Amino acid sequence: MWSYWKKIYNSFFTNQINTEKEKSIIHKQGPTVYPPLNAVTTKSEEVEIEVRKERDINTVLKEAIVEQLSAGQPIPVDWNAGGDETICNVQIGEAYDYKKDGVNIGWELGDLIAQVLELPNAGEYFNNGKGHIKVDQKGQVVLHYSARAYYYDYEESDWVDGEPAENVSSTEWIPVDDPFHLNQYLHRVNINFSVWMHVEGRNTITYDSYGGLIHTQVREGDEMSVPIPKEAEAFYGEMIRKRLQKFEKDFEFSEEVAKSKSLHSIDVSGRLEEGGVRLELQKSYVVIDFIADNESVILIK
Amino acid sequence: MAVYTKGIAFEKLEIVLKIYKKQARSQKEVLSLFSQESHRKTIENTYEKLTPLTIAEALLLSNAEQRMVALQCFGVEELVTKLNAKQLDAQTITKKQIRWDEHLKPYEHTYEDTYELYKIDAKSLGIERHFWREPAIYFVKCQCASTDRLYYLYVSEDIAQQQDAIAAIAWTMRFNGKPLTKQQYLNLMYSET
């Protein structure tokens, strides 16, 4: 009770007399603490939590891995961590979201790998890698992998273990007719294109990630799904892929850079507009060394 | 099912329709944005009679993004007028500039620069008084001498309480991370002229 009146007294007089005092009191009280965002669970998360209660999550993961490997299906993994996010893809069969007993195996393994390898999610750290999940002779789940990492040291104002040496960007307009009659939706829906790829070395081009091409975003009105035929995906996909390969050739990096152990990526984002497609292409290049080259780490004992 | 305007989702169809009404969109245009039968019927039956969104209705939206989109329907002049902004102070400074004419000859241009300090109180903003404290927004209005554009710049409560429009405009500028004082600002204006 006393503390209540003291608070009223303090806030009344400090507010009236001196705003600096007011600020210091607010500061002492500290910020409001909100529950973490993940404290709110979705229905599917609730199912997963129930499963976790009944069975050890690692047992479910191990069973799923053994099933896949026994069926002759490899389990490839790749990650692109840092820059404010940790993306770790674990492919089970054809899917990245394969579920067993209500547990999302890919997501759980992704979390486990991020935890074991201590993958960064801060803006200035970057860690790219890939590998395969296997089971060794002792029955342990093992990740065979190679990874490269670098970071930006704010104190030294310099990149450490890596150097994002060159960046090239370009905005292009590709005139194209509207063979799939998608322009009729443009007054209310954004129809976007998104493609990204990682290229390793000079001659060993591999598409590490190749995301879905067309994404729609409602801007005005209600949520009518825009019927985008598969042929449209193929049509625009081929057009953008061709442009992307030309862009890749047009902007070759220096000989020295190309010879080094390098990693570069091309990001393409675009939008369907009246009369054509507007593309923004960006090629960025990083000189980085391996921090792990064909190494192994135990994920589950 | 959510409805959208400027890519922001709203739960209530009526608010989005009021925004469209404020934007003076025709019923035909609005109908072209909706595909659900229930929405289309509501638009056909109610849109013509619907009143445009008011500032008070926009301010009542609890979601900050929705509020931002809704408030974008109003021009600054309209906001200032409808929210009963009260003028606390107005001061005019006479300034001189060297300008060049069409023959590239310099000439002296004298003009008057007026600064106005305003307050919008809690009642107009639809905010309740917090015991003895009355939340309010303070801003200074000024005009760019080159482009004639009007600017409305936020100023903090403690500087606004001085009820001095020049001190307020000085506060919006920083030197070595610190706001200018009125005297520093006037000296700089002298240097400019």
Whole-angstrom Cα distance, residue B10 to residue B8? 7
User: What is the DSSP-derived secondary structure letter of residue A157?
Assistant: T
Residue A119: is it exposed, middle or buried by C-beta count within 10 angstroms (0-12/13-18/19+)? buried
Which positions in chain A touch B162 (Cβ < 8 Å)? none
CA-based radius of gyration for chain A: 26
**Which residue does chain A place closest to B30, by CA atoms?**
A221
- What is the tens place of the pLDDT at every residue in B131-152? 777 788 899 999 887 788 889 9
- pLDDT tier at A33 (50, 70, 90 boundaries)? very low
Interface A:B, Cβ pairs < 8 A? 46
Which positions in chain A touch B157 (Cβ < 8 Å)? 19
Which positions in chain A touch B1 (Cβ < 8 Å)? 222-223
The HSE-up count of residue A86 (CA atoms within 13 Å, CB side) is: 15
Task: Please indicate whether, in this complex, the C-beta atoms of A15 and B133 are within 8 angstroms of each other.
Answer: yes
Lookup result for tokens 């403690």? B158
**Quick one: average pLDDT of B45-63?**
92
Compare CB distances from A219 to B6, B32, B133 and report the shortest one's residue: B6
Q: Looking at residue B74, what is its pLDDT?
A: 93
Closest chain B C-alpha to A238 CA, distance in angstroms: 29
Compare CB distances from A221 to B3, B131, B133 and report the shortest one's residue: B3
Lookup result for tokens 């890596």? A162
**Quick one: average pLDDT of B22-37?**
94
Task: Please indicate whether, in this complex, the C-beta atoms of B36 and A222 are within 8 angstroms of each other.
Answer: yes
Which residue would you say has higher pLDDT here, B161 or A283?
A: B161
How many other CB atoms are found less than 10 A from the CB of residue A125?
18
Task: Please indicate whether, in this complex, the C-beta atoms of B34 and A218 are within 8 angstroms of each other.
Answer: no
Distance of CA A201 to the CA centre of its chain: 22
How many other CB atoms are found less than 10 A from the CB of residue A276?
16
**Quick one: average pLDDT of A8-32?**
44
B158 CB near a chain A CB, below 8 Å? yes
Q: What is the mean pLDDT of chain B?
A: 89
B104 CB near a chain A CB, below 8 Å? no
Phi/psi of residue B110, nearest 5 degrees? -110, 135
**Which residue does chain B place closest to A20, by CA atoms?**
B158
Which positions in chain B touch A217 (Cβ < 8 Å)? 7
Which positions in chain B touch A219 (Cβ < 8 Å)? 4-7
Compare CB distances from A223 to B2, B32, B131 and report the shortest one's residue: B2
Task: Please indicate whether, in this complex, the C-beta atoms of B7 and A190 are within 8 angstroms of each other.
Answer: yes
- What is the tens place of the pLDDT at every residue in A201-241? 433 333 433 446 788 889 999 987 788 888 988 898 888 88
Q: Looking at residue A159, what is its pLDDT?
A: 66
User: What is the DSSP-derived secondary structure letter of residue A213?
Assistant: S
B132 CB near a chain A CB, below 8 Å? yes
**Quick one: average pLDDT of B31-42?**
94
Closest chain A C-alpha to B116 CA, distance in angstroms: 24
Whole-angstrom Cα distance, residue A14 to residue A260? 64
- What is the tens place of the pLDDT at every residue in A122-149? 767 778 888 999 999 888 999 999 887 7
Least confident of A24-28, A255-259, A289-293: A24-28
User: Smallest Cα–Cα separation from B36: which of A265, A188, A144?
Assistant: A188
Closest chain A C-alpha to B104 CA, distance in angstroms: 39
- pLDDT tier at A28 (50, 70, 90 boundaries)? very low
Amino acid sitting at position A217: Q
Task: Please indicate whether, in this complex, the C-beta atoms of A12 and B6 are within 8 angstroms of each other.
Answer: no
Lookup result for tokens 């030197």? B175
User: What is the DSSP-derived secondary structure letter of residue A254?
Assistant: P
**Quick one: average pLDDT of A254-270?**
67
Compare CB distances from A221 to B34, B157, B158 and report the shortest one's residue: B34
Which residue would you say has higher pLDDT here, A240 or A20?
A: A240
CB A193 within 8 A of CB A240: yes
Which residue would you say has higher pLDDT here, A285 or B28?
A: B28
Task: Please indicate whether, in this complex, the C-beta atoms of A12 and B132 are within 8 angstroms of each other.
Answer: yes
Whole-angstrom Cα distance, residue B136 to residue B130? 11
Q: Looking at residue B66, what is its pLDDT?
A: 93
Whole-angstrom Cα distance, residue A69 to residue A141? 11
Task: Please indicate whether, in this complex, the C-beta atoms of B4 and A221 are within 8 angstroms of each other.
Answer: yes
B32 CB near a chain A CB, below 8 Å? yes
- In our burial notation (b when 16+ CB lie closer than 10 A, e otherwise), range A156-169 reads eeebeebebbeebe
Q: Looking at residue B171, what is its pLDDT?
A: 95
